Structure 1
Amino acid sequence: MATILDSVDQRTQLVGENRLELLIFQLHSAQLFAINVFKVKEVVKLPKLNVLPGSHPNISGIANIRGASIPVIDLRQAIGMRSTEHEGECNIIITEYNRTVQAFLVGQVMNIVNLTWRDIQPPPKQVGKNNYLTAITKLNRDGVDRLVSIIDVEKVLAEIVDYDIQISDDVLDNAIVNHFHGRKILIVDDSSTARAQIRDTLSQLGLEVIEASDGLKALNLLKSWCDQGKSINDEILMMFTDAEMPEMDGYRLTHEIRNDPRMRDLHIALNTSLSGSFNEAMVEKVGCDRFISKFQPDLLVEVAQDRLRSVLQSR
């Protein structure tokens, strides 16, 4: 099963071209689900699990994979589907999100598909705010269009691990913190959980937060300000953007901004659950100013303060 991911490291050229690859799987039902291949480290058959008393009910146990103890999350249960007691084929998808490694218990792992972000759409508003999807897409199988639900893994993890938004006292620069009041920032992320984490952290500084759920919405907002004759840097202090989003990813968004002379000097921080040297290289390639792994409140504040300090010094 691990061979399905043997070439993942060679696929990074897709990012920055507004493309992605999805790992398609089932959760012991006919429905198709997916996560981005770049989050996946390995796929293996379900090993023997060690159950830890008192652990979160969505944690099925701990798997020992080549000497590493990895928590295994029952993904079907975590997204609110009826438990099946692990009937039929069972696999675990080992992933890395936000600098942590965890595995998701799933059913059959189907294949990897190559798509453009334009093929990815937000979930319908009718599904409500409590769904566990960041997006949906369609695949044609045997002449039939099948709906694929892309899991909001950050929401799943946030319900197991309580992400702290408390800012350390020694991080705040008292010489400039009062200058945040009245200023705005733009947050671009398809995960409502991720947007809330940034919003709840930075609003403590007095910043007003503007939100967009994908790169295309953000780009259209920025262009509308420019079309009205407004200065982007007067409207917002900076922008935090995710990498993976429907319709337009964060890399493409940054590329479009840098190629528009009306907004090319906007300060942009890539804030993503994807980690490692690959992302740092992509940040340099597309022209982001900073790279931040998600759910680090102190680092969010440091980046915002560095930007504000630069603005104040330029006056």
Structure 2
Amino acid sequence: MAGLLAVLAALAAPAAAQTPATPPPAADAMLVLDASGSMWGQLNGRSKIELARDAVAGMLRQWPAGQALGLMAYGHRSKGDCQDIELLRPLSPLGSDGAAALQATVNGLQPKGMTPISESVRQAARQLRHTERAATVILVSDGEETCQADPCAVAAELEASGVNFTAHVIGFDVAAGSKARQQLQCLAERTGGRYLDARNAAELNQALGQVTQASTDACAGFEQALAMMPGTALSPDGDEQPVAGAQRFDVARLPDGADARACQALCLGAPGCMAWRYEAKDHLFIDHGRCFRYGAAASLLREDRAAGPKEVVSGVRAGAKVVKQGAGFAHCSAAARPAAPPPGTRR
């Protein structure tokens, strides 16, 4: 055993310390507001559209001035028109002037018409260029789709076609168990976003605050990786070799008898190593065990059930998250930004 430990220590030596990578930038976002006729409904003596205006004001106070935000609304110009969807503010950094202009636009909305949720979210995704870069839609709606479309199906479509598309949805005064709630919840869950109920003004303000945090924090709301993930393979995205910024981590050959915990120990013994993958002897016809190590800047793909739970095992160093970035995953230090409750799991 002492000899084995000495070999493992020697293998760990080449890895140098490395500063954790800067978190990826937060995704551009589009706020989509329901301005259909039902938003004139009353809650404690005030219309829902009035309460929505107040909640948006609170959201804008939290929104980083340099992060892009657009505004879209539906149902505010005519009755019975499923094409009544309008881009009211093109995507651009908010800034103080932009916040005041956006708020003035929201204050001027006069609910009138239908509820084309699906097409609105689809158009918002296009404005965000979701097939080219990370994109987030924040939808506030008080009812179900009324334009013969399926928000759940649209969610699946956008998730499949997008680089990293997420929809956070707030159901405002939506009844539990209703078709509206099922549609809105599915829209969020299919894209890895948050669904939140808001039954009054206070809850609407709180819900918008929560989705604002999830939308502006690049480290919030993504799947927490584990220290030990049997059957899961982490591998470089677009590179055949493990990479940590400018430093390349060579694959370590493991001595006979070494298992996944030996590979984990190699990673933990190297300050620059943030993730690892163990492959057992005879996996892929290799005559020895292998240990791949990855640094904080590595962009990694994750494949669950890549092999049997003993043949391939992966893991991350404590305090790191696996964050979806583009087609793959990258490391994001938990210390870099405040953690937020996860909105759901990514595939």
Relative to the length of structure 2, the TM-score reads: 0.31
Relative to the length of structure 1, the TM-score reads: 0.34
